[in-house]
């Protein structure tokens, strides 16, 4: 039986116009906005993460924007629980709510949830991190191939870029070592129940248009003081929250590894690569109504309203 609650979820690559659409929809439906952009959680990272500006934040009530510190440990699992609790609270006031963001893993956490994994002793993670620091990503790949060859082969054929992702690979190996069972043995065992029906709206643009918008956004960030923001965070450059586009490149500049001009060029290149990965992720999402980013918002509202039964 379908839920009477509806979560309008706006997805798409960075700089495509998700924030503007979410605010229009929040005003139209009289509801709040849940942000699931994993870079915008941190209050120290304002300019480089394109946090909605003060006017935008004042126009609609946002949640999970700059609500954590880079010094806080915060996982996608933590976000899943906190956001679901907040949504349950918000649905009591209005059966329509909005979620927006470009972090595919965090979107999936809310819409579908994750498989249930047992708690693992922290010493296992410490050991894996120490080995990774010495041997690099090859160590993690070899461990996963040995401990869960089935899952390793699946990644190799279906999602090879994940094999190059240290955080994800560490997690796979950690589960294998900490439980003595293959990571794949824990997948798909528990069906997560949600108290809402998702209505997923995707925004897209031609690649050249998207790249031009990204370049423009980086220039705007620089004009707003990105270099000063990153410089203020330089003493904490090794924190996990700061291992992201727009910060790493400028850390290299402050380390005198590159020129400023080169660092800025790399920010634009790496942001475009990030956008391509976002598109790849979101195109795998089912039941998405895709729109060109220039589509009249009234047309998008009509499509959304057609999916919500009239009372």
Q: Please give the angle made by the CA atoms of 185, 191 and 195, to the nearest 5 degrees.
A: 155
Q: Is 15 among the annotated ligand-binding positions?
A: yes
DSSP category for residue 256: T
Q: Is 113 among the annotated ligand-binding positions?
A: no
Q: Is 130 left (phi over 0), alpha (psi -120 to 50) or beta?
A: alpha
CB 45 within 8 A of CB 234: no
Q: Is 14 among the annotated ligand-binding positions?
A: yes
DSSP category for residue 97: E
| Orientation angle between helical segments 260-283 and 207-224, nearest 10 degrees | 130
Q: 137-145 long-range contacts, Cβ below 8 Å, gap at least 24?
A: 137/163, 137/164, 137/166, 137/169, 140/166, 140/169, 140/170, 140/172, 140/173, 141/169, 143/173, 143/176, 143/177, 144/169, 144/172, 144/173, 144/176, 144/183
Q: Is 20 among the annotated ligand-binding positions?
A: no
What share of residues in the chain are helix, strand, coil (percent, to 5)?
Answer: 55, 10, 35
Q: Is 265 among the annotated ligand-binding positions?
A: no
Q: Is 178 among the annotated ligand-binding positions?
A: no
Tokens describing residue 84:
């679901």
Q: Is 118 among the annotated ligand-binding positions?
A: no
In the block, residue with structure tokens 């139209």: 28
Q: Is 12 among the annotated ligand-binding positions?
A: yes
CB 202 within 8 A of CB 292: no
Which residue numbers belong to the known binding site for ATP? 12-19
The annotation places the binding site at 12-19
Q: Which residues are annotated as a binding site for substrate?
A: 14-19
């Amino acid at each position: 039986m379908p839920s009477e609650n509806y979560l309008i979820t706006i997805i798409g690559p960075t700089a495509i116009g998700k924030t503007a659409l979410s605010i229009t929809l929040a005003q139209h439906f009289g509801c709040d906005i849940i942000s699931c952009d994993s870079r915008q959680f941190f209050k120290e990272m304002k300019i480089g993460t394109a946090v909605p500006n003060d006017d935008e934040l004042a126009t609609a009530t946002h949640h999970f924007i700059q609500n954590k510190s880079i010094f806080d440990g915060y996982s996608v699992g933590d976000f899943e629980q906190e956001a679901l609790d907040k949504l349950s609270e918000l649905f009591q006031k209005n059966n329509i709510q909005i979620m927006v963001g470009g972090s595919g893993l965090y979107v999936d956490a809310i819409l579908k949830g994750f498989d249930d994994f047992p708690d693992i002793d922290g010493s296992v993670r410490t050991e894996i991190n120490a080995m990774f620091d010495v041997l690099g990503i090859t160590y993690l790949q070899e461990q996963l191939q040995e401990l869960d060859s089935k899952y390793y082969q699946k990644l190799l054929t279906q999602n090879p870029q994940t094999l190059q992702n240290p955080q994800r690979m560490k997690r796979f190996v950690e589960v294998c070592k900490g439980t003595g069972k293959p990571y794949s043995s824990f997948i798909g065992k528990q069906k997560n129940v949600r108290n809402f029906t998702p209505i997923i709206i995707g925004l897209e643009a031609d690649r050249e248009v998207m790249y031009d918008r990204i370049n423009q956004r980086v220039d705007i960030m620089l004009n707003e003081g990105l270099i000063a923001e990153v410089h203020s965070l330089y003493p904490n450059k090794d924190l996990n929250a700061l291992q992201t586009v727009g910060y790493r490149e400028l850390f290299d500049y402050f380390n005198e590894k590159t020129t400023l001009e080169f660092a800025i060029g790399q920010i634009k290149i790496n942001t475009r690569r990030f956008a391509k990965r976002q598109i790849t992720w979101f195109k795998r999402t089912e039941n998405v109504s895709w729109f060109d980013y220039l589509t009249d918002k009234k047309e998008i509202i009509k499509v959304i309203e057609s999916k919500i039964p009239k009372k």
